[in-house]
Amino acid sequence: MAEQAEMTGQVQEVLDKLRPFLLRDGGDCELVDVEDGIVKLRLLGACGSCPSSTITLKAGIERALLEEVPGVVEVEQVF
């Protein structure tokens, strides 16, 4: 349980670093859950309806989380 809470905290820290870039384009993201190394995010604002949101999620957010948070294996978008 402590491991899960620590990973969730680390994920939130990375998201907080990325948030200004999302906000600049009128979007944001919300951490929904972290389970078994899978980070579940909800894209908000402009990011929720942007045709490039999958690229933002996979090439931007997922890449940063894989590099910076040990144990993260994938990022999934939830609606």
> SS3 letters for 26-73?
CEEEEEEEEECCEEEEEEEEHHHHCCCHHHHHHHHHHHHHHHHCCCCC
CATH number at residue 53: 3.30.300.130
Q: What is the pLDDT of residues 3-50, one digit of tens each?
A: 888 999 999 999 999 999 999 989 999 999 999 999 999 999 988 888
Distance CA 69, CA 50 (A): 26
Q: Considering its fold, how many domains does the chain have in total?
A: 1
Domain span including residue 6:
2-77
| pTM (predicted TM-score) | 0.91
